[in-house]
Amino acid sequence: MPAIDRDLETLALERDADGFVRLTVTVPGHRQNVLTQRVIEELSRVLDQLHAERPRGVILLSGRPGSFFAGADLSRLEELGTLPTAEIADLCDRGKAVFAKLSASFPTAAVIDGTCLGGGLELALACDLRVATSEKHTVLGLPEVKLGLLPGWGGTVRLARLIGPGPAVELAASGETLDGAAAGRLGVVDACVPAAEAVESARRLLVLRGDDGFIAARRRRMSAPVDLDSVERAFLEATTAAVILGRTGGHYPAPPAILRTILAGASVDAAAASRIESEAFAKLAATPVARNLLRVFAIGERNRRDSGVDTTSCGEPSPAAAPAVVGAGIMGAGIAASHLRAGQPVTVVDINPEALAASVPGILAEAAWDRLAKRPDEARALQLTGHLRTSTSFAALAAADIVMESVTERPDIKQQVLAEIERMVGPGTVITTNTSTNPIGRLAAGLTDPSRFCGLHFFNPVRRMTLVEIVRGPATSDATVASAVAHAKRLGKCPVVVNDSPGFLVNRILMPYLHEAGELLREGVSAERLDRVARGFGMPMGPIELYDMIGLDTAFYAGLVLSAAYGDRIEASPVIPALVKAGKLGRKTAAGFYRYAEAGPHGRIVGRDDKATEVIARYAYPPRESSDRTIVDRLFLPMLLEALRGLDENLVRDGRDIDLAVIHALGFPAFRGGLLAWGDSLGAAEVVRRLEPLAELGLRMKPTERLLAHASSGRPLTGEVLP
């Protein structure tokens, strides 16, 4: 065997008697295969050797189950922002030069089983043929756009020639993924077969397509310009640009850059298109948006690895085999459905038999929701029926290893229910509460063993909201926190550990945003303008729309808790209780600050509500002139100050948790990197300067000592944020 085979760390070669080579990639030190520098170097060396051997065909596959390639190595991506654009473009060109060797001489086929994303898909596209498996874990896509980038290793070039510029733009600009069957229908792969048949299918395709001239013809087509007439090009450019603008609001430069790059590359040969792609990638990598999105991605990866505690003494939490939910209301049903979606059987207990029975169809429909079809999959719902157990007796909790209480927010009722749960379950069972306002220490007062109790705060709607606050009470043990974190991750959620505090983390930071919006209304700023400015900042909806979405009654009760705790800087607004008293609760009643065409979350806004206008006028302040920039400062600077106060109080273990939480729970624009990152984009000294003209508004606009220290030292708020 040639010497080169013996010193490979990431690749293994297997030759057969018929002249075929199986090239298997397994990247050590990573949970999934990623394109490290070592992989690229070894691939280049092996392909050069095989070029000299001239095998009949090469089959590229992964030796790591469930992962073809998850993309580029994150550590390499994080370095991009520090490099000159010319060097970044050169890195792209060097990677593409290696990939080009896959279709330079001998026929090649990629067997895609598992995750095939970003650079992994570009690697597969560089092969002559692709065979995907029909397994559920197989997904293909180009998610670079979600990092503020575009494919930089030939993805825009090859995909446009393989499936056409229009579909290529849609796939690359959306960042959405395809399963094997969908990739086959689109033409991204040549076959989709069961995993057990994939390698043999690739071998047969290499023989068939090599003999009939298909591979040679495809290589010629992949190197030539795309046949796109001027009318088709103009239509694609106009319509796609409008769709992209609608999706991004103009805040994300990568999607329009993808459109421009694919169209420019389509009119020239592949070599010239490749250079256009490299230069476009390099320009995007240097933008603040890309740096922020890469930071957010890195924070998310850190969260994925984080156990939630700073000690290893509690060991690895055992998977919860018997989870249970107490309470079949909206939140309890949503939590139960999230378990079924994650493949976990679950028990739901509610002492009200009518409420319990009524919840079952909704739980199954939610669990079987088909994102693409935008409706429940009835066959899937039927399959899940056997995984849902319901009971009106607490005795059904006896075998549970984690119980999630989700009854009404009244603390006396919660304490009674929690005590009954503790009486029924075993000594090793983790007991949690889904609450947004009740202090964990207070709820734990009636428990015999409060060390196994914590908050597990899901957000509504549970299916769409990924954040879960793991709330550590005064007596909560590390083992309990680690178990709760691990369980949330098994549900596909993003858990953030916070210490017990009124409003915990998310609602505490949301509070000043909503409060300030109410104050601005009373100063004469219109609801429409407030919402427009907030959306222009990048929020998914404005604060007044959010009030109506949350429900003004819910906001009122949460406001009582928060104003009692933080009344020195947040005074309860009289507007909200007045509207609640008038029955104007928001979308749920088709009227709040706005009027809606119908009650419910999907009702269309038809105008301002007259009663809301009357109430605001009753409690109006003297008018105050406010520019859009001032409105942004008043809405978001108090949120930043509250985040800094939370750091002073050790509300979270790391400031990065704050940025992750506000993005996932509040929709804070990811392109700004998070709340603290946005503060750094201004600079601490500039934040202090912007607060000066707002000082007359009171303590809520007063800089914290931490902010002043950062302004003086020049240290970033996102670095060294903990004492």
- CA–CA separation, 108 vs 60, rounded Å? 7
Most confident among 238-242, 552-556, 631-635 (mean pLDDT) = 631-635
As a whole number, mean pLDDT of residues 467-474 equals: 97
> Is the pLDDT reported for residue 374 higher than 90?
no
Quick one: which of 613, 588, 610 has its CA closest to 599? 588
Provide the pLDDT for residue 76: 74
Provide the pLDDT for residue 5: 63
Average confidence score pLDDT of the chain: 92
**Token pair 């909206």 is at which residue?**
330
> Is the pLDDT reported for residue 312 higher than 90?
no
Percent of the chain residues past pLDDT 70, beyond the cut: 98
Provide the pLDDT for residue 617: 95
Distance from CA of residue 404 to its chain's centroid?
A: 24
As a whole number, mean pLDDT of residues 294-311 equals: 90
Provide the pLDDT for residue 520: 97
Q: How confident is the model at residue 723 (pLDDT cuts 50, 70, 90)?
A: very low
- CA–CA separation, 509 vs 382, rounded Å? 41
Quick one: which of 82, 72, 94, 79 has its CA closest to 278? 94
The pLDDT tens digits of the residues spanning 665-702 come to 999 999 999 999 999 999 999 999 999 999 999 999 99
Q: What is the residue extent of each domain of the chain?
A: 3-286, 323-500, 507-713
The pLDDT tens digits of the residues spanning 11-62 come to 999 999 889 999 999 999 888 899 999 999 999 999 999 999 889 999 999 9
DSSP 103-138: GSSS-EEEEE-SEEETHHHHHHHHSSEEEEE-STT-
Provide the pLDDT for residue 1: 41
Provide the pLDDT for residue 670: 95
Percent of the chain residues past pLDDT 90, beyond the cut: 81
What is the phi-psi region of residue 324: left when phi exceeds 0, alpha when psi lies from -120 to 50, beta otherwise?
beta
As a whole number, mean pLDDT of residues 152-163 equals: 96
> Is the pLDDT reported for residue 714 higher than 70?
yes
The pLDDT tens digits of the residues spanning 597-629 come to 999 888 999 999 999 999 999 999 998 888 999
Structure-token pair, residue 95: 């990677």
- The answer to whether the beta carbons of residues 147 and 294 sit under 8 Å apart is yes
- The answer to whether the beta carbons of residues 458 and 434 sit under 8 Å apart is yes
Structure-token pair, residue 599: 């009650």
Strand, helix or coil for residue 405: strand
Distance from CA of residue 144 to its chain's centroid?
A: 14
The pLDDT tens digits of the residues spanning 328-343 come to 999 999 999 999 999 9
Centre a 10 Å sphere on the Cβ of residue 16 and count the other Cβ atoms it contains. Answer: 11
Fold of 323-500: Rossmann fold (3.40.50)
- The answer to whether the beta carbons of residues 148 and 253 sit under 8 Å apart is yes
- Chosen CATH of 507-713 out of 1.10.1660.10, 1.10.1040.50, 3.90.480.20, 3.40.50.970: 1.10.1040.50
**Rounded-to-10 torsion of CA 705, 709, 711, 715:** -130
> Is the pLDDT reported for residue 106 higher than 90?
yes
Fold of 3-286: 2-enoyl-CoA Hydratase; Chain A, domain 1 (3.90.226)
As a whole number, mean pLDDT of residues 78-106 equals: 89
Provide the pLDDT for residue 311: 75
* Rounded CA Rg of the chain: 28
Q: How confident is the model at residue 238 (pLDDT cuts 50, 70, 90)?
A: confident
> Is the pLDDT reported for residue 573 higher than 80?
yes
The pLDDT tens digits of the residues spanning 199-229 come to 999 999 999 998 889 999 999 999 999 988 8
pTM of the model: 0.90
- The answer to whether the beta carbons of residues 449 and 475 sit under 8 Å apart is no
Structure-token pair, residue 365: 């429909």
Beta bridge partners of 178: 140
Structure-token pair, residue 124: 């597969």
Q: How many residues does the chain have?
A: 723
Provide the pLDDT for residue 11: 95
E strand segments, 322-447? 323-326, 346-349, 369-370, 375-376, 388-391, 402-405, 430-433
Beta bridge partners of 14: 22
> Is the pLDDT reported for residue 2 higher than 60?
no
Provide the pLDDT for residue 722: 35
Query: Active-site residues: which are they?
Result: 457
> Is the pLDDT reported for residue 314 higher than 70?
no
Higher pLDDT, 247 or 451: 451
